[in-house]
């Protein structure tokens, strides 16, 4: 991670939260669990904006057994991405359709983007087709060859069109009941990585001073500015009253146990106390949430409307709401972390 070694061998656990800028190549051994996993893992490369590549090494037909219908649907999408997108369309079209859900339809790699292998192949074909022909008229044999080539190209186009229709049919089929679960998982993984980054950003940072453009390299609780007193009073009141539901995160800091150093995996899908670690982000969630809400005037009305829409309309109900468990498929968290993610995303826009 510090750059002392040129190669890292890791499990898929290294897929998120890694922001080493100059990773040039990601090599996937075996099929990824889902297109989302592939995107997260391959996304570790090229974060400095320079050309990079992702290579997948798999055995044909040797995909791991699906646990349920959702697993099967995701594996089908992985197979279509690996085997079919190269013959049908730009790989970014497949990824965007699954991850980004853009308002405008993508036709291929766009200006400023590194070309994928499919688009590079199409460009090479276009260059070949534009090469000048000989000035001499073709002979009978050459004309015959041209007819055969044109026939072959026509058959190839028909095959490509058939594969395109097959791919689109598969895309429509996956818009079934499992689509909601897939979208939830996308949001979940996005929130976890965003949470990691924002916790690190706002640790020992005063949102009140940050908004004013002053030196903000201190906790809002220790801020000496008069404008921070209201935030300090509200933070203290919330910290005294908030009660986190069971399995909703670390009780002292509110951070998910997957992130907090006070906890470690017990190897059975749960967490146990880490005697050698402690909360590295204690106070960051509440301090930053309240600090940002009070420092940035344009955020407060939007947050109040957001809370009122779900029936949270008093100071007491806000505290109770923030301590509630947020049900995620793989990460146990709480509404405090969720609101922190929402508010920092809004601030970043």
Higher pLDDT, 126 or 230: 230
Residue 62 covered by a domain:
no
107 part of a folded domain: no
pLDDT > 50? residue 81: yes
| 155-173 pLDDT per residue, tens | 667 766 776 676 666 655 5
DSSP 8-state class, residue 131:
S
Amino acid 331: pLDDT? 79
* Assigned domain for 102 exists: no
- Is position 265 within any domain? yes
Q: Tens of pLDDT along 98-124?
A: 666 554 677 788 887 778 877 877 666
Nearest to 329 by CA among 95, 68, 75, 78: 68
Structure confidence at residue 86 as a pLDDT band (50, 70, 90): very low
> Which pLDDT score, from 0 to 100, does residue 244 have?
94
Total domains present in the chain:
1
Q: Give the domain range for residue 291.
A: 180-348
Residue 205 lies in a domain: yes
Q: Is position 297 within any domain?
A: yes
Helix, strand, or coil here: 25? Answer: strand
Which of 341-349's residues contact partners 24+ apart within 8 Å by CB, and which partners? 341/191, 341/194, 341/195, 341/198, 342/306, 343/289, 343/292, 343/293, 343/299, 343/303, 344/194, 344/198, 344/201, 344/202, 344/288, 344/292, 345/194, 346/299, 346/302, 347/292, 347/296, 347/299
Q: Is 294 a domain residue?
A: yes
Distance CA 152, CA 139 (A): 20
Determine the Cα–Cα distance for residues 142 and 127; give it in Å rounded to an integer: 21
pLDDT (tens digit, 9 = 90+) per residue, 250-289?
999 999 998 999 999 888 878 899 999 999 999 999 999 9
State yes or no: pLDDT of 49 exceeds 90: no
125, pLDDT greater than 60: no
Tell which wins on pLDDT, 148 or 58.
58
Q: Is residue 329 part of a domain?
A: yes
């Amino acid at each position: 991670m510090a750059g002392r070694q040129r190669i890292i061998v890791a499990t898929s656990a290294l897929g998120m939260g890694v922001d080493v800028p100059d990773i040039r190549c990601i090599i996937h051994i075996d099929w990824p669990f889902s297109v989302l996993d592939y995107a997260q893992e391959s996304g570790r490369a090229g974060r400095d904006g320079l050309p990079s590549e992702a290579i997948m090494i798999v055995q044909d037909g040797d995909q791991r057994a699906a646990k349920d219908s959702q697993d099967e649907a995701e594996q089908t999408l992985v197979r279509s991405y690996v085997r079919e997108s190269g013959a049908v369309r730009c790989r970014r079209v497949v990824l965007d359709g699954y991850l980004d859900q853009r308002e405008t339809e993508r036709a291929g790699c766009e200006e400023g983007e590194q070309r994928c292998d499919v688009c590079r192949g199409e460009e090479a074909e276009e260059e070949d087709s534009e090469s000048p022909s000989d000035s001499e008229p073709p002979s009978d044999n050459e004309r015959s060859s041209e007819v055969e080539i044109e026939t072959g190209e026509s058959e190839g186009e028909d095959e490509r069109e058939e594969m395109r229709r097959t791919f689109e049919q598969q895309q429509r089929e996956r818009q079934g009941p499992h689509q909601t679960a897939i979208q939830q998982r996308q949001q979940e993984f996005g929130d976890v990585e965003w949470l990691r980054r924002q916790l690190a950003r706002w640790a020992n940072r005063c949102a009140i001073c940050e908004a004013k453009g002053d030196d903000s390299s201190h906790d809002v609780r220790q801020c000496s500015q008069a404008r921070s007193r209201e935030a300090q009073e509200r933070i203290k009141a919330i910290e005294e009253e908030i009660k986190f539901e069971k399995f909703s995160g670390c009780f002292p800091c509110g951070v998910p146990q997957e992130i907090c150093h006070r906890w470690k995996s017990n190897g059975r899908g749960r967490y146990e106390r880490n005697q050698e670690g402690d909360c590295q982000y204690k106070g960051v969630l509440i301090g930053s949430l309240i600090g940002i809400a009070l420092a940035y005037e344009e955020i407060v009305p939007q947050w109040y409307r957001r809370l009122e829409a779900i029936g949270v309309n008093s100071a007491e109900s806000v505290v109770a709401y923030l301590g509630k468990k947020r049900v995620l498929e793989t990460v146990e968290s709480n509404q405090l972390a969720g609101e922190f993610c929402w508010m920092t995303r809004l601030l970043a826009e």
